[in-house]
Structure 1
Amino acid sequence: MDVVVIGAGQAGLSAAHALRRRGLSFVVLDAGSGPGGAWRHRSPSLGVESLHRIFDLPGMPFTPPPSGPAAPVVAGYFRAYELAFDLPVLRPAPVRAVSRTEGGLRVVTEAGGVWDARAVINATGTWGSPYVPFYPGIADFAGRQSHYADYRGPAAFAGRRVLVVGGGNSAIHVLAELPDAYWVTRREPVFHEGEFTEDYGRDVVARVAERVEAGLPPRSVVSVTGLGYTALARAALERGALVRHPMFDRLVPGGAMWGERFEPFDAIIWATGFRADLAHLAPLHLREPGGGIRMAGTRVVREPRLHLVGYGPSASTVGANRAGRDAVREIAALLRPAAGVAIVKSF
C-alpha cells in the first residue's frame, strides 16, 4: 500500500476521499462492525435537532431530517459516503500495533492481519478512550458510576438523584434529560453566542494547534469554543436544569462532600471527555517530555510517515475535513518518487 488509514469516522473518510482523488493506493481499517464511527455508539435519546453542528464530508452534503435519533442518521450518511466514493473500508479490523519497517510502517490488526505501507494516517479519534479523573473517595462511592460514553438515555436513571460531572456538551445532553441532576464543574461554563461557522472553527483550530506544536497534550476543542446554545441547551436553560455548582472535595459512599456539607447521590455520570485513542501507536515512542505528541500540522515530528487527523486541533467535524486533505497533500509529496501504484478498489 501507499497508505493505510486507521479509522473510518469523519476524519478517516475525509482522508480517504483525498487519497482517492490523488490516485494513491490505500485501505481503511475500521474497528467498528458497521459505518458511522463514534456516532454508532451515541445515545438513542440524542436527536439530530439537538446537534451542535455536523459539517459535510467533502463532496457530499449532509442533509439530515428535521428530527429523529442522530446515531442512525449520521451512520447512514457515512455508509452512503463510503459507497458513493467506492472507499476500500475493511471492518471489523481493530488495529493492535503500528511499528517501523525499513521501507515504511507496519500495521497489525487484532485478528493478525499485517499491512505494510509507505505512510499511515491515524484517524482513531477519542471515543474509544473515555476519561474519568481521579478524585478522593472515587472508589468508596457506593452508587452507580458511568461515563457519558455508556449513557443511553434517562430511563436507566429514573427515580435516582444523579451527580453530573463535566463542563462540555455531553453534560448538557444529560442535564437536559434528567429531572433530578446536580451539575458540578471545575470552572464556570462559558456559553458561546452566535453560530459555529467554518471561519470561527478555523480560528478555534489554530488556537488548539499551538499546544500540539509544542509537544503538549491537546486541549479539547470545547475548552476553547465554549458551549453553544443548541436546542438541548436552550431546553435545559428554560427548565432551570443548568445550575452549575463548584467541584466537590471528595466522594463518600452515599454522595459527595464540600468541606463539611454533604449531598446525597445515587449515581454519578462522568461527562469528563475523552483522550486520544492512540495506544496502538506505542511501539513508535512518539511522546515528548511534555506528555504530548509534537505535531507540524498533521505530521508527527518524530515520525514523518505518520499523520494524525482527528487529533488535537482536528478533533472536530470542521477540523477533520481540512486535516484529512492536508495530510494527503503532504503524503503525496513524500511518496512522489514511488507514485504510480494502482488504486485498490476491492479485496
Structure 2
Amino acid sequence: MTRFDPLAHSPDDRLLDVVVIGAGQAGLSAAHHLLRSGLRSWDDVVVLDANDGPGGAWRHRWDSLTLGAAHGIHDLPGLPLGTPDPTEPASRVVARYYGAYEGAFELPVMRPVAVASVDQEPDGVFTVTARDGRRWRTRAVVNATGTWDSPYVPRYPGIASFIGRQLHTRDYTAATDFTGRRVLVVGGGTSAAQFVLELHRAGVDTVWSTRKAPHWTDRAFDQDWGRDVESAVTGRTVRGLAPLSVVAATGLPLSRPYVAAIESGRLISRGPLRRLTPTGAVLTGPGPDGHGVPSQGAADRLIDDDVRARVPALPGHPVPDGEDGWEVPIDVVLWATGFRASLGHLSPLHLREPGGGIVMETDGVTVPKRPGLFLVGYGASASTLGATRAGRRAARAAVRFVSRPAAEDAGDAKEDVSA
C-alpha cells in the first residue's frame, strides 16, 4: 500500500486505527509503542498536536526555568535525553529532544492541529474534529492533552475588585517583570516555591501564601514513592473522583536548596489568603503585628527563634472590625495554583461523574464508559515519568482493542449507547 500523504489527502476519507491527541511526553510515548506494535505511520496512526513545533507544554515554559532547576524530565522510550547543559532553558532542551525523537522514529505528527471535539458514533467509530473543520475517523483515540491549556485560579472574595495585575503560572516570563512591585505568590506546589525564590533573587518583594501548611516531605522521590503516588491517585480515579493536585499526591521535597531557603526566612508561607481588596490581600497567618509565622508543616523543625527573626514583618495593618487577618498592600498576584486536565474537547462523550472525575480502569488509561478511548496524562499519569509508562500501557491497550473482531466492537458500542 502507498504511504498516506497527509498533505495530499483529506483526513475525512480514511478510517484510522488510532488517533493520538497531543505530542508531549505521553503522546510521543504512545505513538512510539503503537508503531512498534506493527501499526503504520499515516496509514494506521496519526498524532495531532496543537502546537506549532515540538516540545509539548515545555515549549511554553519561561527561560529562567533551566534544565537543572526543572523537576521530572524523563527519557522517552528508545532515545535517552543524555546530559544537556543544566543551565540551558528546559523549554529549549525539551523542544530539541522531542523534535529529534519525532524524526528518529518517523512519528506521524501533524501540527498545528487544535482539536475542538471528539464524538463517537453508534457503531463505535470516533470522529475527531479540529477547530479548522478537518475531521479524522478512527477506531480508537489516545488522548494525551495534558493540563497546560487548563490553568486553575480559585475564586477568592475580592478577586474581581483587585486593581493590580493578576497572572497564572502559564503567563509567567521573568522575575524582572516585577521589579519595584510587591508580588503575592499563591499556591503550595513546586512552581510556587520556585517563583518565591526566583523573585527574591531578583530583588522583588515577595509574599508567599498557602491554603494550609506547606506539604513538605523528607521522603526520597524514588521508585517506591512513585508507586505509592500512583496507587493513591488511582484509588480515586477508579471511583470517578477528581484526581488529587500534584502537591497533594507528592508533597514538596525538603531538598538542600529548599532547606537553606527556609532557614534564611525567605521561603516561609505567611498563611492562607482570606480575600483580596482593591490594593491588597488579607492573610490570616501574620498575626496582629504582621510578623507571625504560621505552621510550616514538616518544616517546623527547621524554624527556631533565629529563623523567625529573619522573617520580615509584613507592611500593612490589622483588619478592622474584629476580623482575624492582616492586610498587606500588594501590586501583583501570581496564581501558582496548578492546572486541571485539558479535556474540554471530550465533553461530547459525557465522561464526567458526579464526583467530578472520570471513572478509569485500574490500568490508569482505559475509560470503561467509552470502549476505544484511552487517557494518558490524566490522574496517576500526570507526571512525566508516569506519562511515559502510561503511553506504553495505552498503546498496548489500543492495539488490543483495534485487533478485536468487528462484531465485538459493535457489541460494545451498542451496549454503551443503550446504557
Say whether the fold is shared (TM-score over 0.5). yes
TM-score (norm 1): 0.94
Q: Shift of the alpha carbon at 1:229?
A: 4.4
**Given that residues 172 and 232 in structure 1 are in contact (C-alpha distance below 8 angstroms), is that contact kept between their aligned partners in structure 2?**
no
> Could you say if the C-alpha distance between residues 98 and 28 of structure 1 is closer, same or farther in structure 2, counting changes exceeding 3 Å?
same
Deviation by residue 1:167-224 (Cα, 9 ceiling, x = unmatched): 0011012101112110011121122335422332122111111111100111123212
Residue pairs, 1:252-331, within 5 angstroms: 252-258=277-283, 259-296=324-361, 297-331=364-398
1:182 and 2:203 matched: no
CA distance, structure 2, for counterparts of residue 292 and residue 116 of structure 1: 26
Q: Distance in 2 between matches of 1:82 and 1:222?
A: 31
Q: Distance in 2 between matches of 1:311 and 1:47?
A: 25
Q: Distance in 2 between matches of 1:19 and 1:260?
A: 56
Q: Which structure has more RCO (C-alpha within 8 Å, separation ≥ 6)?
A: 1
Larger radius of gyration: 2
Task: Tell whether 2:215 aligns with 1:215.
Answer: no
Query: Superposition RMSD on alpha carbons, in Å?
Result: 1.7
TM-score, length-scaled by structure 2: 0.78
Is 1:79 paired with 2:102? no
Q: Which residue of 2 aligns with 1:134?
A: 155
Cα displacement (A) at 1:262: 1.3
**Secondary structure of the equivalent of 1:121?**
strand
Name the SS of the counterpart of 2:397 in structure 1. helix
Provide Cα deviations, 1:221-240, integer angstroms capped at 9, x if missing partner: 32121112467635644653
Matches within 5 A, 1:198-209: 198-209=223-234
- State yes or no: 1:332 paired with 2:399: yes
Give the whole-Å Cα distance in 2 for the aligned partners of 1:184 and 1:260: 13
Matching of residue 21 in structure 1 with residue 36 in structure 2:
yes
User: Could you tell me how far 1:260 is from its partner in structure 2?
Assistant: 4.8
Structure 1 CA distance for aligned equivalents of residues 133 and 117 of structure 2? 10
Alignment-mate amino acid for residue 327 of structure 2? F
Compute the displacement of 1:30 (Å): 0.3
Which of 62, 66, 69 pairs up with 1:43? 62
- The CA distance in 2 between the partners of 1:81 and 1:217, in whole Å, is 32
After TM superposition, the structure 1 stretch with the greater mean CA deviation from structure 2, 247-256 or 86-95, is 247-256
Q: The residue matched to 1:292 in structure 2 has which SS?
A: coil
Equivalent residue runs for 1:236-247 within 5 Å = 236-237=261-262, 239-247=264-272
CA contact (8 A) 2:66 2:86 kept: no
Q: Report SS of the residue matched to 1:19.
A: helix
Question: Would the aligned equivalents of 1:204 and 1:221 in 2 still touch at CA under 8 Å?
Answer: no
Alignment partner of 1:34: what SS? coil
Partner of 1:147: 168
One-letter code aligned to 1:307 = F
Matching residue's letter, 2:33: A
**Pairing 1:159–2:155 present:** no
195 and 31 in structure 1: CA distance in 2 versus 1, 3 angstrom threshold: same
Letter in 2 for 1:208: V
User: AA paired with 1:61?
Assistant: P
> 2:125, 2:140 within 8 Å by CA — same for their partners in 1?
yes
Is the Cα–Cα contact under 8 Å of residues 30 and 90 in structure 1 kept in the other structure?
Answer: yes
Deviation at 1:335, TM superposition (A): 1.5
Shift, 1:111, TM fit: 1.3
Q: Which residue of 2 aligns with 1:122?
A: 143
Partner Cα separation in structure 1 for residue 224 and residue 77 of structure 2: 17
Match of 1:72, SS state, is: helix
Give the 3 Å change call, closer, same or farther, for CA 69–189 of structure 1 in structure 2.
same
Deviation, structure 1 residue 248: 2.1
Amino acid at match of 1:223: A
Residues 66 and 89, structure 2, Cα contact 8 Å, conserved in 1: yes
Amino acid aligned to 2:139: R
Amino acid at match of 2:185: V
Q: What are the equivalent positions in structure 2 for 1:106-117 lying under 5 Å apart?
A: 106-117=127-138
Residue 125 of structure 2 corresponds to 104
- Describe the SS at the equivalent of 1:15: helix
Q: Matched residues in 1 for 2:180 and 2:52: separation?
A: 34
- Contact kept in structure 1, 2:72 and 2:385, CA below 8 Å: no
Tell me if the contact between 2:22 and 2:144 (Cα under 8 Å) persists in the aligned partners: yes
**Is it true that 1:31 corresponds to 2:46 in the alignment?**
no
